Structure 1
Amino acid sequence: MVNRYEPFPTVHLPEPIRTMVEDGADAIGCDAAYIALPTLAALASAIGNTRRLRLKRTWHEPAILWAAVVGESGTAKSPAMALALQWTKARQDEAVRTHKAAMSDYQHAEQLHAVRHKAWLQRAGHATEPGPDGPPEAPLRPTCERTWTDDATTEALVALLSENPRGLLLATDELSGWFQRMDRYTGGKGGDAAKWLEMFGGRSVVVDRKGSGFVHVPRAAVSVVGSIQPAILQRSVGDTNRENGLLARLLLAHPPRRAREWTDRDLDERTVEAVGAVYARLYGLAMDTNHDGQHNPRTVILTPEARRRFVAFYNAHNAEQVALDGDEAAAWSKLEGYAARFALILHLTRWAAGEPIDPDAVDEPSMEAGIALVEWFGREALRVYGRFSEAEGERAYRELIELIERKGGAITVRELLMARRSRYAKAEDATDALDGLIHDGLGEWERVEQGPDGGRPTKRFRLHAGADTKPPIRGR
C-alpha cells in the first residue's frame, strides 16, 4: 500500500537555502523537493573531500549524497534542477575561463622552454665536459577545476577526480543512463557498480586502462543527482541494483503531479547573492596536508549534545529496522549514515551562511535537522518502494484520488472521462469508480446548479480533505 505524500520539510534547511528552495518552487510551480534534492547534493559536492564527520575511531562519514527526483514528464524537473545547480555550474564556467587564460600563458611558456632547451642541448653538445647547469625546467600544464560532470563512465570520472581531489557532482537530467552503466563491463556482474559503491563511501578507486596503465584515486568522492520517470526507475533498479545495495543508497522523492499556473514570482536577487556567498565559502574549504604533502579530509567531531542525540537516533532507528525486510531494511541500513552526512552538510552550510558556530564540531541543532531529513527520506522511500509492488487495482485507486486532488479536490463524471479515456469506457464506469470512493467514506456528490448561460444542473464528486490513497483492506 502507498501512503500519502508528505511535503519536503524545508524548515530544516538553513537560511538562505530554505528561502531559495521555497521561493524557487513557487516561481517554477513545482514541489519543493524538486529543488531541495539537487541543492543538497550540490552543497555536499561543494564540501566534498575537505571534511569528514567522525562518529567513532572506525566510523567516518563523508559529505556525499546520491539523490533522485522521480516524476513524470512535464512536472518541471529540469527547470527545478537548473535553478538549484546554477551556482555549481557558474563556478565551473568561471574556472573554464580562468583555465583558458592559463593555457594561453602555458603555451607561450612552452614555446620559450623549447627555445631554451634547444640552446641548452647545443651548449651541452659543444662542451668538453659536463656543465653545472641541467636542462631548463619545463612549465607545468595547468588543470581546469571541475565542479560537476554529466559523464557517468568510470573512466571519465576517475580521470577528472585525479585532477580534482576534493570531488565532483554528477548531475544528469535522466538517471537511466547511470543505471545502465552499472554492469556494462562484466556482462551483468557489476563491474561499474562495484566502483560506484566505493565512490559512495569516498574510498579508493583504481581503473585499469588498456595499453596506458591505470589511474588511482585515493578518495573518490562523487555526489549524484538526477531525475527519472517512475516506470523507468522501476525497470532500471531491477534485481541486480537491489542486491548490490545501489537502490538503498539512493535518496528518493516522488511528489504527486500538480497543476501549474503562471506566476510573476521569481527568486529575489538578494537571495541569489546570499546563496552564492554560501557556495563560495564552502568551495573555499581546503583539505589538510600532511608532512608528505598528501591531501586528506579534515576530521569534524560531534559536540557531546550532538553525540547523545545521534546515539538515541541510532538505537531507535535500528530497532525499527528489525521489523523491516528486503528493500526497506536495506534502505534503513544506509539512512543511519545519511543522518550523519546531512548533519555535516547542514552544519557547514550554517557556518558558510555566517552563523557563529564552530565548523569543526557539529552541534545538536545540525544533528537534529539531519535526523529530521533522514526520517522524511525514510518515509518517502517506503512510499516509493510501495509503488513497485502495487497491484493494478491499488494503482488505479491511488491515481484516481491523485487526479481529483490535482483538479482542486472535485471532479465531474465528464471531466473524469476526458482525463481517463483509456480506463473508463463510458459514463457508468466513471460513476461507479466515484461511487466506490463514496462507499469508502472518501467523498460525496454535490449538486452543481446551472450557470448564467443556462444548462441542466449536474453533480460533481467532492473529495474529503485528507482522503487516504490506500484502498480499504477488503480491496478495490
Structure 2
Amino acid sequence: MEKNITLDTVISALASHTSATASDFPIDVFPAKLQRLVLELHTSCGFPIDYTASAMLAAISVAIGNTHRVEVKRNWRESAIIYMAIVGRPGANKSHPLNFAMRPLVNADWKNNQEYQKQFRAYQEAIAMSRKERVNAGYDQFPKEPKRLRYLVSDVTQEGLSVIHSHNPRGLCLWVDELASWFKNFTRYNNGSEEQFWLSAFNGSTTMSDRKNSQNSIFIKCPFISVVGTIQKRLLTELANGERAANGFIDRILFAMTKTTAKPRWNEEEVREDLDRDWERILNRLLSVPCNLNENQEPQPIIIRFDNEAKKSLYVWQHRNAELCDSEMSDNVISFFCKLEIYVLRFCLILRMARWAVLDETQSPEMIEVNDVDGAIRLAEYFRQNALAVITCVSEEKLNDLHRTVYDHLADEFSTADGIKTAERFGMKDHTFKMFLTRNLNTLFKRIRQGWYRKMSCYSTNNVTADGEV
C-alpha cells in the first residue's frame, strides 16, 4: 500500500536539507504552501530563504493594494504598504528571488499592456474619423483615451508616478533592482521634495501633484505605493546620508539580510515544473479581489478588525516595544522601533490575506486572529534585529579615524576598564571613551552585564536592550 505523503511531510523533508543557521526568517509564519515554495527554491536554486520570503511579503503587499485595510481603533486604519530592501554583497543572489516573487505581477502587467495597446489602436482610429464617421462606425461620439492598468513602475518621476497612480487607484509598487538609483535621484529635479513625497507615501497620506504647464492638479486621496529592491551592504551608508537618518526615511525601510556570506553553490536538485504556477495562482487570487470605488472613483477598502484575543496579544507586544523605546539611548534605534508598531499591523493584514488566498476561503476575511498577530510579531522581531545590524554598519562607516582605531583594537568582549586601557594606547581619554561607549550602545556595543560589553557586527542577531549607563 502506497504511503500517503502530506504537505507537512514534504516541508519537513525540505527543511532537513536546509542548514539550521542559514536563516533567521520565521518562515513558519507563512501558510504551508508558501513555506514549501521558499524551501524548494532554497534547496534547488540556492535562493536565500530571507530574500525569497521577504520578496514574497512585498509581492503580497502589492497584490492586496487598496482592496483591504486593517482597523485597530475607530478611524485608525493601516494598509499593507511596505518598503523592502534586500541587502547583500555582490553575487549574493539578491535579484533572482525578487524576480521570482514579482513575476506574477510582471505577467499581469504584460497582459494589461496588450489590452491597452489594442484599445489605444482603436482610440487612434476613432479620433482620426469625423464625428459622423465615428457614430456610423459604432464608436463613441467623443472617445476617451484608454488608461493603462498596471501594478509595477520602475524609473519614474514623482509627477509621472502620480499620473500613473491616478489611473490605477488600486495601488502600485516601485520595483528597482538597485535601490541606490531610487534614493540618489531624490534631488535630480529639485531639492528634497521627492524625499518628502516618499515620507508621506509610506503613511498613505493624501498626495497632490501640480503638473507642469497644466491647469490640472492630480489629487490622490488614498495612495498605495510599496517599494522593493536590492542594495549592496556597502551602500547602506549612502542610504543614511543627509537628513535621511534623522527625518525618519531610513526607519521606514525593512531590511532583509542573511546570516551567511557564502556564495550559493549549484547542485543537481531540479526545480519543480509547476512551482512558478503555484505561486502565480496564490498571487492571482489576491489580484482577483476587486478594488471597490465610490462615486468619486476613490478606493473603499474592505475593513478587517482584530478579534479580542488577537488585540490582547498585539497590545502586550506593543507595551514591550514601548518599554524598549523608553530605555533606549539612541534616537536612531528608537525611531526604528517606533516604525515597527506600524509594520506589525501591516504584517497582520498581509499574513491574514495570504492565508485567505492559500486556503481558498470563500468568504472575504473579516477578522485578524491571534495566529496572525503572533506571526506578525515574529516578523517584526526579525526585522528589528536586521535594522539594528544596519545601524551598526552605518555607525561603523561613520567613525572618525581615532574612534575607528579604538573600535578595531577592542576585544570582542571587554570590560570598561579594559576598554579604557585600549583607548589610552591611542590617545583617547577615559571620559571620551566612556562617552563613545554610551552613545553607541545598541549600535556598536551591546551591554551584556554590569561593566562588560560586546562589539556588535553588521549581521548580529542578538537581542538588544539598554538597561544602564557606563
TM tier, shorter chain? 0.7 to 0.9
Instruction: Output the amino acid matched with 2:210.
Output: D
1:12-34 deviations in whole A, cap 9, x for unaligned? 12232222222222333232112
Q: Give 1:378 shift.
A: 0.4
**Contact 1:9/1:373 (<8 A) preserved:** yes
Q: Give 1:6 shift.
A: 5.3
Q: Give 1:289 shift.
A: 3.4
| Aligned residue in 1 for 2:378 | 372
Higher mean C-alpha displacement, 350-359 vs 78-87: 350-359
Cα pair distance change 1:248/1:94, threshold 3 Å: same
Q: Distance in 2 between matches of 1:281 and 1:379?
A: 32
Q: Give 1:267 shift.
A: 3.7
**Contact 2:162/2:218 (<8 A) preserved:** yes
| Aligned residue in 2 for 1:268 | 272
Q: Residue 332 of structure 1: which of 291, 312, 337 is its match?
A: 337
Which runs of no fewer than 5 residues in structure 2 stay unpaired? 1-20, 397-403, 413-459, 463-470
Q: Secondary structure at the match of 1:137?
A: coil
Q: Distance in 1 between matches of 2:121 and 2:238?
A: 48
**Contact 2:385/2:461 (<8 A) preserved:** no
Instruction: Output the amino acid matched with 1:163.
Output: H
Q: Distance in 2 between matches of 1:33 and 1:323?
A: 30
Cα pair distance change 1:142/1:173, threshold 3 Å: same
**Contact 1:67/1:225 (<8 A) preserved:** yes
1:425-476 deviations in whole A, cap 9, x for unaligned? xxxxxxxxxxxxxxxxxxxxxxxxxxxxxxxxxxxxxxxxx999xxxxxxxx
Which runs of no fewer than 5 residues in structure 1 stay unpaired? 120-134, 400-465, 469-476
**Contact 1:20/1:267 (<8 A) preserved:** no
Cα pair distance change 1:154/1:15, threshold 3 Å: farther
Instruction: Output the amino acid matched with 1:147.
Output: Y
Q: Distance in 2 between matches of 1:273 and 1:392?
A: 53
What is the aligned-residue RMSD (CA, Å)?
2.8
Q: Residue 207 of structure 1: which of 206, 209, 217 is its match?
A: 209
**Contact 1:19/1:271 (<8 A) preserved:** no
Q: Give 1:94 shift.
A: 1.4
| Aligned residue in 2 for 1:164 | 168
**Contact 1:203/1:221 (<8 A) preserved:** no
Q: Distance in 1 between matches of 2:313 and 2:386?
A: 23
For 1:53-452, what aligned pairs fall within 5 Å after superposition?
Answer: 53-111=70-128, 114-116=131-133, 137-187=141-191, 190-213=192-215, 214-255=217-258, 256-290=260-294, 294-324=298-328, 325-354=330-359, 356=361, 359-390=365-396, 391=404
**Contact 1:15/1:350 (<8 A) preserved:** no
Q: Distance in 2 between matches of 1:208 and 1:392?
A: 51
Q: Residue 58 of structure 2: which of 35, 41, 51 is its match?
A: 41
1:146-191 deviations in whole A, cap 9, x for unaligned? 111112421121111010001111111111121123344543xx31
**Contact 1:176/1:228 (<8 A) preserved:** yes
Q: Secondary structure at the match of 1:243?
A: coil
Q: Distance in 2 between matches of 1:27 and 1:246?
A: 36
Q: Distance in 2 between matches of 1:209 and 1:20?
A: 44
Q: Give 1:271 shift.
A: 3.2
Q: Give 1:286 shift.
A: 2.1
Q: Distance in 1 between matches of 2:292 and 2:120?
A: 28
The structure whose Rg is larger is 1
**Contact 1:207/1:216 (<8 A) preserved:** yes
| Aligned residue in 1 for 2:449 | none
TM-score (norm 2): 0.75
**Contact 1:49/1:166 (<8 A) preserved:** yes
Cα pair distance change 1:97/1:392, threshold 3 Å: farther
Give aligned pairs, total: 382
**Contact 1:331/1:381 (<8 A) preserved:** yes
